[in-house]
Amino acid sequence: MRALPKHLRPRWRYFGVEIETRPDARIDRRAFQAALWDAARGLLGDPGSADCDLTVVRFRFDRETGGMGTAIVRVRRKEISRGRAALACVRAVDGQPVGLAIRGTSGTIRACADKHCRDHRGRSDTPSGPGAERSVRLPAADGSTTDRPAVGKPGGRVDVRTDEGFVGATILDLGPDSDSKFDLDSESSSDPDSE
């Protein structure tokens, strides 16, 4: 079919979305898209969901960063606010809890990728190897120490595996000698792009 004349084409905006999961989660683009449509339908209903037309146009998620990824989500220009609300209601993908933050909106995919999508793989403080797991020594209340497996993430984040599942922590929680253990650059955590 012939493309519509330019003034009749829908106007889009693109959300740059940052995704975080537990280190053992595996999510892909299809699952994320399904969760997004579910959330939009649940919050906005069928008509609202159709108006927003939320579509995942880029998706990147690597286990080697310990469960951090980015996505670009397309939304109709007039529906930015409702699209944002639907995105905020994505609680889990494939039953695995996700944290989502919209880092910014742009008018083109390229501008969105350049401005709002951090590539966690390239960061110097990214843990090496897929789901690199090391053991951290944690002091317990009675003065003894216990060893727990933990996965480092960019920015000084550490997910510690406990009996009740993962606990989100940072290198601040692990005591003074944990910096070397994770080779994490704690400084990089204090320069968020949100400024």
Partner 1 sequence: MLARNDPENEPMADVDDTDTGINHDASAASDRPSPFYEAVIPYPEGASTAARFALTAREYGYGGVVLRAGPGSSTPTALDLANADAIEAAYGIDVVNAIEIRADSPGSASGAVDNYRSSHTLVCVRGGSPAMNRFAAEQPRVDVLTRPMAGRGDLNHVVARAAARNGVRIEFDLGAVCRTSGGRRVRALSDLRKLRELVQQYDVPYVVSVGAESHLALRAPRELAAVGETVGFSRAAIEQGLREWGSLAARNRDRQDASFIEPGVRKDV
Interface with partner 1 (CB under 8 A)? 20-22, 38, 42-44, 81-82, 84-85, 87-89, 91, 97-102, 138-141, 146, 155-157, 160, 162, 164-170, 172-175, 186, 189-190, 192-194
Cα–Cα distance measured from residue 118 to residue 177, given in angstroms and rounded to the nearest whole number: 28
CB 74, CB 55: distance < 8 Å: yes
Taking Cα atoms as reference points, which of 109, 45, 117, 113 lies closest to residue 82? 45
What does the block give as tokens for 190?
């204090």
Pick the closer one to partner 1 by CB: 131 or 175. 175
Residue with tokens 């494939």, as numbered in its chain: 94
Nearer to partner 1 by Cβ, of 124 and 194: the residue is 194
Q: How far is the CB of 7 from partner 1 (least distance, A)?
A: 28
Least distance (Å) from partner 1 to the CB of residue 182? Answer: 14
Distances (CA, A) of 180 to 1, 137, 139, 186: 59, 13, 17, 11
Contact predicate 37/80, CB 8 Å = no
Work out how close the CB of 115 gets to partner 1 at its nearest, in angstroms, rounded to a whole number.
16
Residue closer to partner 1, measured from CB, 128 or 190: 190
Nearer to partner 1, 1 or 140 (CB): 140
Q: Shortest distance, CB of residue 4 to partner 1, whole angstroms?
A: 29
